[in-house]
Amino acid sequence: MVLKREVRRKNIIKNLFSIFLTSIIISLLILAGPVRAISVNLDINNIDVSTETEKEFTLKIDYNNNETPDIKQIDLNFNNEATCTIINDIVSGCNFLEFTNKKVSGFTPGFGYGYGYAGSVTYTLLIKTPLLPSNFIGKEIEIEAVITDSNQQISDTSSISITQSKVIDDESLVNEAYTALTNKRVLNGNAALDKITSNLYLPSRLKGLEGVRISWQSDSAGIISTNGTVARDSLEDKYVKVTADITKGTVSKSKTFDFVVKKKVPPAVVNNATGKIDVVNPDEDIVIDQSNVLNLREIEINDNGDKPVVLNLMSLVTTDKKLNLSTNSLTLTRNTGSVTYSVEIPLGTIIQGNDDWNGLITLPTIKGNDGKNITNGNAELVIEVGSENVKLTFDKAVKITLPGQTGKKAGYIFNEAFTEITECTSSDLSDPDTLVAEGDCFTNLGADMIIWTKHFTEFVSYTPTSSGTSNSNTVSAGISSGKSRPSPGSAVAVPEAVPEEAVEEQIPAQVESIVEEIPQEKQGFF
């Protein structure tokens, strides 16, 4: 009997000890918290760089019950050749990946004394395929996503193919881009490759040529930067070689431009009695700034008229590319000895340039007639004012006098496309400022043709061919003629090459001014 009691007592003690030990273990587990349980899913499909300029994909991080998100860093490793790091939704380490969105879902209170939660965090990311390393194309690329969460790392791996299905098309697009990068377009109103006085236009892509990218190299970035900014030396001209690398997929082509950046010149001398500048050296730009602008009324050049001469208003243009003739009118005159061409800009006119305007205006310049695509006509006189491919508009009508051209028809050319100018109506002549925005008309005065216009470009007088007259609705570059805009479906003279206006997307450059920049509230000059 005593033996049985002793055995029973020992069993009770053993059971109590087991219960006590189990309780301690459970308590320790509760205090330590649950085992972390996080999973990662990388969802991305194959890429064809010929048809896809962007590729969106997702990275989903699932937190199971009793987990709290604490993402410190995400690393995306592409084939052990490039690593993109995401910290606080900011991508670094590569230029072809962009963060677009982050979605947090779930995370309702879990168990375990209310410590934890459950849910997911989904990142939406974007690959810019034109920026992918060229050696990725034609390969299987392994992408490893590594998530650093508190003190642990979780990863997932996915493989994709990066292909190029249309190599021939890519080559064609690169060639089109090469053709579109003409000297004239890159010059951006500068007189010539060897007469650079203000910013160039160096685009990074071309409208209508999806996926084509252009990168620029300069052998003297302090004089011409890779975004086109020009800094003129005070002592001497500078020779600079700039190269465009045009790429799509695995196809690439380079185009080189050799420039001469002219040294700085002092502001032009104005005759204070007459308000006139007589141009002595047409090889130099005519610099106008606050030191000489108040008395300026006329600029005259005496030569044969065919050499481009540039008026440099760079320091007077506001940041929104405007210039206000608030004090005087301005007449630009070209005297060849036998005839005088003139452009009269009235007092109070606001000149508006496009985003790429660098403050240059080409004075009236006689151009050759050959190669001009005149609809149903033969060119008699071609004169460039402003720039053929830099858009300048006016809120008041500007008067252009073409001597000896009475009885001819009139038109203009912008980016190689021809538009007929209609004859002025009586109301146009009574108040030319009533012309529509960017509109124009022409009339005759004695032996001369008078063109009233609200934009600058190449203007043409021409003789109609016997087959008929030009279509007055022919348009280019969005500029309308006469009193009304052309209707949809009207005829358009389209150049064979890629239009130079197709070049776009470049960071506007502010060139170093000869004088300090005018505060914008002064609204220009004159």
Return the ∠ at Cα 275 (arms to 273 and 280), rounded to 5°: 105
Same domain, 151 and 179: no
Q: Do 249 and 355 share a domain, yes or no?
A: no
Which of 261, 294, 316 terminates a domain? The answer is: 261
In contact, 441 and 423? CB cutoff 8 Å = yes
Residue 60 structural domain: 38-163
Say how many C-beta atoms besides its own lie within 10 A of residue 62's C-beta: 17
- Token couple for 346: 């009235």
> Both 123 and 237 in a single domain?
no
Rounded-to-5 percentages of helix, strand, coil across the chain: 15, 40, 45
Domain with 143 in it: what CATH number? 2.60.40.10
Whether 158 and 171 share a structural domain = no
110, 194: one domain: no
113 and 179 inside one domain: no
Which helix or strand (DSSP H or E) is residue 6 part of? helix 2-32
pTM, to two decimals: 0.60
Cα-based distances in Å from 315 to 391, 515, 517: 19, 7, 6
Query: What are 503's two structure tokens?
Result: 């070049």
Task: Assess if residue 452 is contained within a domain.
Answer: yes
Q: What is the pLDDT of residue 361?
A: 93
Q: Would you give the distance in Å from CA 36 to the centre of its chain? A: 49
pLDDT at 23: 58
**Do 280 and 429 belong to one domain?**
yes
Contacts of 29 (CB under 8 A, 6+ apart): none
Per the domain annotation, does 417 fall within a domain? yes
172 backbone dihedrals φ, ψ, rounded to 5°: -65, -40
Q: What is d(CA 213, CA 218) in angstroms, rounded to the nearest whole number? A: 17
Look at the chain and report how many structural domains it folds into: 3
Whether 18 is in a domain gets the answer no
Strands (E), 320-408: 322-324, 330-335, 340-345, 350-353, 360-367, 377-386, 392-402
Q: Are residues 315 and 236 in the same domain?
A: no
Whether residues 326 and 457 fall in one domain: yes
Q: Is 523 within the bounds of a domain?
A: no
pLDDT at 22: 58
SS3 of 26-67: the string is HHHHHHHCCCCCEEEEEECCCEECCCCCEEEEEEEEEEEEEE
CB 246 within 8 A of CB 177: yes
Instruction: Give yes or no: residues 298 and 245 share one domain.
Output: no
pLDDT per residue, tens digit, the chain (526 aa), is 555 556 566 666 666 556 655 555 555 444 444 444 678 888 889 988 888 889 999 988 887 766 667 788 899 999 888 999 998 888 988 889 999 999 888 776 544 434 356 788 899 999 998 888 888 888 898 999 898 887 678 888 888 898 887 766 788 899 999 999 999 899 999 999 999 999 999 999 888 787 899 999 999 999 999 999 999 999 999 999 999 999 998 899 999 999 999 999 999 999 989 999 999 888 889 999 999 999 999 999 998 888 889 999 999 999 999 999 888 999 999 999 899 999 999 999 999 998 889 999 999 999 888 778 788 889 999 999 987 678 899 999 999 999 999 999 999 998 788 999 999 999 999 999 999 999 999 999 999 999 999 999 999 999 998 654 443 333 333 333 444 333 333 333 444 444 444 444 444 444 343 333 333 333 344 4
